[in-house]
Structure 1
Amino acid sequence: MTVLTQSAAVAMRPVRLILAILALTVAAFPARAVDRDRLQAFLEVTGFGVALDSIALSATDAPQMLGMQASDFGTEWRHAAEDVFDTEGMRETALVILEQTLSDELLTHAAAFYASPLGQRLVEVENDSHMTEDDAAKAERGEALIGEMVERGDQRIDVLRGLTTAVNGDDVAVRAVQEVQMRFLMAASHAGVLENELDEGALRALMRANEADLRVSLSKSALSGAAYTYRDISNDDLVAYLEALKEPQMQRVYELMNAVQYEIMASRFEVLAVRMATLNRGQDL
Structure 2
Amino acid sequence: MKHAFSFSGFFRLLLIVGFTLQLSTTAEATSRERIEAFLETTGFDVALDGIAFASTSAPQMLGMVPDDFGTDWARAAKQVFDVQIMHRLAVEILEQTLTETALEHAITFYSSELGQRLVEVENASHKIEDDTYKQEQGRAIVADLVKNGAPRVEILNRMNRAIDSSDSALRALQEIQIRFLLAAHSAGVIELDLDGDDLRQAIKQNESATRTALRMSALAGAAYTYQVFPDEDIQTYAEELEYPLMQEVYELLNAVQYEIMANRFEALAQKMKNLETGQDI
TM-score norm. by structure 1 comes to: 0.89
**What code does the residue aligned with 1:191 have?**
A
Measured after TM superposition, the shift of residue 170 of structure 1 is 4.9
Measured after TM superposition, the shift of residue 54 of structure 1 is 0.4
Residue 72 of structure 1: aligned partner: 68
- Secondary structure of 2:275's counterpart equals coil
Contact map agreement 1:180 1:265 (CA 8 A) in 2:
yes
Within 5 Å, give how 1:25-36 maps onto structure 2.
25-26=24-25, 29-30=26-27, 32-36=28-32
Residue 4 of structure 1: aligned partner: none
User: 1 CA distance for matches of 2:212 and 2:126?
Assistant: 21
Q: 1:163 aligns with which of 159, 164, 171?
A: 159
Within 5 Å, give how 1:35-184 maps onto structure 2.
35-184=31-180
**What code does the residue aligned with 2:64 have?**
M
**Any gaps of 5 or more consecutive residues in structure 1?**
1-7
Measured after TM superposition, the shift of residue 9 of structure 1 is 7.7
Contact map agreement 2:48 2:83 (CA 8 A) in 1:
yes
User: 2 CA distance for matches of 1:35 and 1:89?
Assistant: 19
**What code does the residue aligned with 1:182 have?**
I
Measured after TM superposition, the shift of residue 201 of structure 1 is 2.9
Is 2:259 the partner of 1:263? yes
Contact map agreement 1:9 1:55 (CA 8 A) in 2:
no
Identity of aligned residues (%): 51
User: 2 CA distance for matches of 1:196 and 1:253?
Assistant: 37
Measured after TM superposition, the shift of residue 265 of structure 1 is 0.5
Contact map agreement 1:168 1:258 (CA 8 A) in 2:
no
Count residues in correspondence. Answer: 266
User: 1 CA distance for matches of 2:54 and 2:86?
Assistant: 13
Within 5 Å, give how 1:228-239 maps onto structure 2.
228-239=224-235
Contact map agreement 1:33 1:102 (CA 8 A) in 2:
yes
Is 2:7 the partner of 1:11? no
Contact map agreement 1:12 1:65 (CA 8 A) in 2:
no
Measured after TM superposition, the shift of residue 192 of structure 1 is 0.8
**What code does the residue aligned with 1:132 have?**
I
Contact map agreement 2:15 2:214 (CA 8 A) in 1:
no
Q: 2:207 aligns with which of 200, 211, 227?
A: 211
**Any gaps of 5 or more consecutive residues in structure 2?**
1-10
Contact map agreement 2:110 2:119 (CA 8 A) in 1:
yes
User: 2 CA distance for matches of 1:198 and 1:59?
Assistant: 23
Contact map agreement 2:52 2:81 (CA 8 A) in 1:
yes
**What code does the residue aligned with 2:89 have?**
T
Contact map agreement 2:69 2:272 (CA 8 A) in 1:
yes
Residue 7 of structure 2: aligned partner: none
Structure 1 residues 239-268: Cα deviation after superposition (integer angstroms, max 9, x where no partner): 111111111000011111111111000110
CA distance 1:219–1:12, change in 2 (3 Å): closer
TM-score norm. by structure 2 comes to: 0.90
- Secondary structure of 1:278's counterpart equals helix
Contact map agreement 2:15 2:217 (CA 8 A) in 1:
no
Contact map agreement 1:191 1:277 (CA 8 A) in 2:
yes
Structure 1 residues 22-70: Cα deviation after superposition (integer angstroms, max 9, x where no partner): 3xx10xx44x321111110110000010111100111011001111101
CA distance 1:9–1:196, change in 2 (3 Å): closer
- Secondary structure of 1:75's counterpart equals coil
CA distance 1:170–1:227, change in 2 (3 Å): farther
Measured after TM superposition, the shift of residue 131 of structure 1 is 1.4
Measured after TM superposition, the shift of residue 99 of structure 1 is 0.6
- Secondary structure of 2:177's counterpart equals helix
**What code does the residue aligned with 2:115 have?**
G
CA distance 1:12–1:230, change in 2 (3 Å): closer
